[in-house]
Amino acid sequence: MKTGISSSIKKLAKAIVIIVCVWAAGLLIFSLTLPTETDANALEPADGIVVLTGGKGRLEAGFMLLTQDKGRRLLVSGVHQSVGDQDLIRRTNGTPDLFDCCVDLDRISVNTIDNALETAKWARDHDFKRLYVVTSDYHMHRSKLLLEAAMPNSEILPYPVEASISFEGLVIEYAKFIVTYARTALSV
């Protein structure tokens, strides 16, 4: 009986070691394949641009793409209720005319899943099929996965903004990516 328990413990320990090694290798691959910033001048125009709020430099990058005619409209997804239009105009050095003609604000989204669903509605409303998505580099894998699931007939073009993230933050984002990947793979 003792050898049966000992054998089971060894098998369990081996399984745990394999799982940890696979997880660590996945984290390494995830971190090494984070997208890098692209020269906006080299980009072909798309139908629209979507900025997922929550990180430094995202708004500025999205407005830079808009002013360089890389999209006809810009959606800022996940704008907090307390942030006024004038605050955004000041923060982006935009003009009221630019906001009136070409900028839409999503104040409904509170997470990346919401961002994808609201972006899909916005793209349908404007008949957009080709979108630049602007978010932090570490957030791009998961964002793109969710956007592609919400808009399977659209082309999602990443425009990552370089961001610093702690190791703990990277581990959390990787875990969220794994869960999102599994959820979208199972829903197909």
pLDDT tens digits, residue range 157-174? Answer: 999 999 999 999 999 999
Q: Look up residue 98 and give its two tokens.
A: 């630019």
- Output the pLDDT for position 106: 94
Instruction: Tell me: pLDDT of 177 over 60.
Output: yes
In the chain, how long is the greatest CA-to-CA distance? Answer: 80
Average pLDDT rounded to a whole number, residues 129-155: 96
Under a CB-based contact definition with an 8 Å cutoff, are residues 75 and 106 in contact? yes
- Whose CA is closest to 52, among 96, 103, 116? 116
Mean pLDDT, the chain, rounded, equals: 91
Is a pLDDT exceeding 60 seen at residue 65?
Answer: yes
Instruction: Output the pLDDT for position 129.
Output: 97
Residue 6 pLDDT > 90: no
Binning the chain into helix, strand and coil, the percentages to the nearest 5 are: 60, 15, 25
What is this structure's pTM? Answer: 0.88
Residues 73, 102: contact at Cβ < 8 Å?
Answer: yes
Q: Is the pLDDT of residue 58 over 60?
A: yes
Instruction: Tell me the pLDDT tens digit for each residue of 80-136.
Output: 888 888 888 888 888 888 888 999 999 999 999 999 999 999 999 999 999 999 999
Closest CA to 45 of 71, 68, 73, 74: 71
pLDDT class of 4 with cuts at 50, 70, 90: low
Instruction: Tell me the average pLDDT across 20-34.
Output: 93
